[in-house]
Structure 1
Amino acid sequence: MLTLYGFDVSNYFNMIKLALAVKGVDYKTVTLYPNQSAEYLSKSPMGKVPALETEQGVLTETNVILEYLDDTYPDNPLYPGNTFEKAKIRELVKMTELYLELPARRCHPEVFFGQQVDELTKKEAKRALCKGIEGLARCAQFSPYLAGEQLTAADIVFLYSADLASVVADKLFGLDLLNMAPGAKQLMASLNQREDVMKIAEDRKLGNIKFKKYIASVT
């Protein structure tokens, strides 16, 4: 059986949880926070989460795990279509990560942890988020999903990236980020109504309590 390492507050961890739920794959989880212990570094070379332990070994990096799951468990494909259509899904995944998730993450300390982020970083993040959502709007179909009529890996990454990016944009810049991409709000609402997504959201709430205790214990 697959073993998924990580914690329920991590958006990347939740991407893999949703992918496994969509595919109906059984797995077990080990709650674990990023760390540099020798034991965990033997599984995850950078000490990051998530990590997925398979019969052949351990995989890290979320997009790699998503593609592995799709290759190994072909039912309910996350990268459907011909080679070009699959490439377009990967393009959407990469755009969402590079131009929404990562710029917003630079401001997470201030928005979610009460720390201060310098003004230059915030200025750069604001510019990047606006440019990123506009670029995604030009690339995505939103009919109703990012790549068309079927849920794909792009929607999973979008769900757990754009949600946090939207909070950052609203709290720091007073921007309605999803409103800048026609169809994005409707997609987000539709995804959040899924039973598997609601279950992950409940796990996230419970996980946040444990995560706050963990942060308090190490600071």
Structure 2
Amino acid sequence: MIKLYGFPVSNYYNIAKAALLEAGVEFEDVRTVPSQKDDYLAISPMGKVPAMEVDGAVLTETSVMVDYVAEHLGGSLYPADPVARAQVRELMRYVDLYIDLAARPCFGEALFGGTVAEAIKEKSKADLERGVAALKRRARFEPYMAGSEPSYADFVAYFSIPLANAVATRFFDWNFMADWPELAAMMAKLGERESVATIEASRQG
């Protein structure tokens, strides 16, 4: 049986979990936090979550896990058309690189009570402004990001963008999600899916 290592606070764990749930695959949910201990480094060499164990082999990057599920376990949420499929992957990268990664240096203070230097916050703000503007130009929201059908890009956005918005709201007085009705509509529709409801229930537990 597949094992998925991670914990509900992690957006990347939730993305991988959603891919498995959408595929209707049975898996063991192994609650794990990031760790530099030898026993976990033997599973995930960077000590990060999520990690996915498949037939004794381990996958350690979320995009790799999503691709494995789509290609080998059924229920793919990638379009069949190769250009459309590439565009979904592009949207996933936009969220990862230009929104999540832009906000992530501030997570320590915004989410976990640490302290972040003002220079880092200023850079995050500038990067996040560019990233949000770029995604608004690129995503279609018809009503989903890549068109009329849901794709993995929507799940990446659903679990990642609210964390970035929490940073923007706290430090920059900028609730960019409040000014983005197309995103709100997409997230509301995605929230109706059984996979998302299951994950949301586990996050509340």
* Band of TM-score, shorter chain: over 0.9
The DSSP-based 3-state class of the residue aligned with 2:13 is helix
How far off is 1:86 after superposition?
A: 0.8
RMSD: 1.4
**4+ long deviations beyond 4 Å:** 179-182
Alignment match, 1:21:
21
**CA deviation map 1:111-136 (0-9, x unaligned):** 11222211111111111111101101
Alignment match, 1:110:
109
- Separation in 1 of the partners of 2:93 and 2:104? 15
Residues 52-201 of structure 1: pairs in structure 2 closer than 5 A: 52-55=52-55, 57-75=57-75, 77-179=76-178, 181=180, 183-201=182-200
Q: 1:137, 1:182 within 8 Å by CA — same for their partners in 2? A: no
Q: Which moved more, 1:46-55 or 1:175-184?
A: 175-184
- Separation in 2 of the partners of 1:119 and 1:2? 43
Count of equivalent residues: 205
- Separation in 2 of the partners of 1:150 and 1:56? 34
How far off is 1:179 after superposition?
A: 4.5
Percent of aligned pairs sharing the same letter: 41
Q: TM-score, normalised by structure 2?
A: 0.94
**CA deviation map 1:84-116 (0-9, x unaligned):** 111101100011000111111111111112222
- Separation in 1 of the partners of 2:6 and 2:80? 31
Q: TM-score, normalised by structure 1?
A: 0.88
Q: Which moved more, 1:168-177 or 1:195-204?
A: 195-204
Q: Which moved more, 1:36-45 or 1:48-57?
A: 36-45
- Segments of structure 1 that go 5 or more residues without pairing to the other structure are 207-219
What amino acid does structure 2 have at the position aligned with 1:27? Answer: F
**CA deviation map 1:154-196 (0-9, x unaligned):** 0111111101111111111111212454511211222233333
- Separation in 1 of the partners of 2:183 and 2:175? 11
**CA deviation map 1:25-72 (0-9, x unaligned):** 110111111112222222211111100000151101101100011001
